[in-house]
Structure 1
């Protein structure tokens, strides 16, 4: 079984960008970005992902999300 993991925190660090800056550039609420970056959000809004990718100037979705294998008992 796989789970989608948001890797936003790592990407922001690589680019020297804060969540506040990303919020301004992407027009996604800071609270939503913080929850995504911290792994506290269960549902992922695809419109938000598109806005984040545009703000980060990337078409590589792997810069934002990845799949991780989880044990079936989790």
Structure 2
């Protein structure tokens, strides 16, 4: 059993009280990409997206955005 990285989009939008669309607008990351990340539908994570989200939400600690979980496979 390995590990996988998840992006905590839903937690971020709740915590910062914004919608996915608002996050898309302020971070300049496509809504579809954010939605796929939120739903675990993306195999690859674009780290420039992580940087844009961190900058948009004024986040200093990357652990607020991503987490490492045990892979279910």
Task: State the TM-score, normalized to the length of structure 2.
Answer: 0.91
Q: Offset at 1:48?
A: 0.7
Contact 1:8 1:64 in 2 (8 A): yes
Aligned to 1:67: 68
Gaps of 5+ in 1: none
Q: Which stretches of structure 1, 4 residues or more, deviate above 3 A after TM superposition?
A: none
Gaps of 5+ in 2: none
Matched residues, number: 72
Aligned to 1:57: 58
**RMSD, matched Cα:** 1.0
Aligned to 2:19: 18
Aligned to 1:7: 8
Q: Offset at 1:17?
A: 0.8
Q: Offset at 1:70?
A: 2.6
CA distance in 1, matches of 2:39, 2:57: 18
